[in-house]
Amino acid sequence: MNRAERRKNELRERILAAAFELFLSQGVSATRIDEICERADIASRTFFNHFPTRQDMVRALAESRLVNLHDVVFARSDEPIPQRLVSVFDDIAATLVDSGETYREMIGEMMAAADYGAQRGSPFHETFVELVKDGLARGEIHTRHDPQIVADIIVGALSGAIVNWRVDITYSLPTNLHNLGLALADLLVADG
């Protein structure tokens, strides 16, 4: 990466960091682009050079947050895959719940902007395809279904729970994600 590309990348990351901080402190809908620009110490023209629309910036923020999921999933390489799935679901629930109400709003906005990031080929989906393939290679999960299909089910369960938590204040994300993780782990365990 040359100097100009590094500078462009640094500015983009600064904009995303400023947006994330403001979204957390005051909510997504209450945050204006000019506030993001002020926090990032850039001109509004610079913002629009990086992100044609506010939605594009929210989508980029969502994608950057989803990429971090890979590190969370593979940080526990010593855990058997079924248990790791439960642990990851527990970690996601704890992180989301502990982050407060503005984070709940932000997650909803980011999921909508990124079309949930759950489609095949997305970093979110590919993280779970990789996890399933790792489990198959280690003999920890069964081979009755294609890894893409299994990843579809995992991502669907995770996304569905987060959507339920986002729209229903009474939905217990820690309880439900834990139980979904247990159910998925049970379904994936290799026979014998």
Confidence label for 71 from pLDDT (cuts 50, 70 and 90): confident
Per-residue model confidence as pLDDT tens digits over 150-161: 999 999 999 899
Residue with tokens 């983009």: 12
| Domains contained in the chain, CATH given | 1-52 (1.10.10.60), 55-188 (1.10.357.10)
Per-residue model confidence as pLDDT tens digits over 42-70: 999 999 999 998 888 888 887 777 667 88
pLDDT at 38: 96
pLDDT at 27: 82
Q: Which has the higher per-residue pLDDT, 27 or 126?
A: 126
In degrees, rounded to 5, the angle at the alpha carbon of residue 9 between the alpha carbons of residues 104 and 130 is 60
Q: State the DSSP string of the chain.
A: --HHHHHHHHHHHHHHHHHHHHHHHH-STT--HHHHHHHHT--HHHHHHH-SSHHHHHHHHHHHHHHHHHHHHHTTTTS-HHHHHHHHHHHHHHHHHHT-HHHHHHHHHHHHHTGGG-STTSHHHHHHHHHHHHHHHTT-B--SS-HHHHHHHHHHHHHHHHHHHHH-TT--HHHHHHHHHHHHHHHHBPP-
pLDDT at 149: 93
pLDDT at 120: 83
pLDDT at 161: 92
pLDDT at 69: 82
Poorest-pLDDT segment among 23-27, 74-78, 97-101, 153-157:
97-101
As a whole number, mean pLDDT of residues 137-157 equals: 91
Q: Is the pLDDT of residue 23 over 90?
A: no
Phi, psi for residue 189 in degrees, rounded to 5: -60, 135
**Percentage of residues in the chain having pLDDT higher than 90:** 53
- Residues with Cβ within 8 Å of residue 32, at least 6 apart in sequence: none
Point out which residues pair with 189 in neighbouring strands.
141
Cβ–Cβ under 8 Å, residues 37 and 57: no
